[in-house]
Amino acid sequence: MRNVYDIAYELATALKESNEFKRFKAAKEKIEKDEKLKQMISDFKKKQVELEQKRLKGEEVTSSDVYSLQQLYQIISLNPDIEEYLAAEMMLAKIIADISKIVADSIELKDEIWGFSENK
């Protein structure tokens, strides 16, 4: 039987060689060269996190909060380099989330991770 850590490293290598990762890496490198673009993305992500923290704390997330974040996204995504970076980042995040779900579902661990089961 193969070691699961070896397989994990193989998966990491496959991800690094994927077109989605290469697209993300190229977009990130482009952004890294421009301090203004880096700051714009940083500000946007900070606002995203603040909104999510509000939601997680059970605080009201107003339509104004959501609208403000959407407006900011629309403004910064007018820049093609930022739009490409965010799209590439989202695609890579989706792949990683899909892999996590596949693993959890395959070993029927989803419910056990959270300490409860739907069958109870």
Q: In tens digits, what is the pLDDT along the chain, a chain of 120 residues?
A: 789 999 999 999 999 999 999 999 999 999 999 999 999 999 999 999 999 999 999 999 999 999 999 999 999 999 999 999 999 999 999 999 999 999 888 887 656 555 555 554
User: Virtual CA dihedral for 47, 36, 23, 14, nearest 10 degrees?
Assistant: -70
In a domain? residue 111: no
List the domain range (segments joined by +) for residue 65: 4-106
119 assigned to some structural domain = no
Question: What is the model's pLDDT at position 105?
Answer: 86
Residue 120, in any domain of the structure: no
Q: What's 55's domain CATH number?
A: 1.20.1500.10
Residue 110 phi/psi, 5-degree rounding, is -50, -50
Residue 113 lies in a domain: no
Q: Is residue 116 part of a domain?
A: no
Number of domains forming the structure of the chain: 1
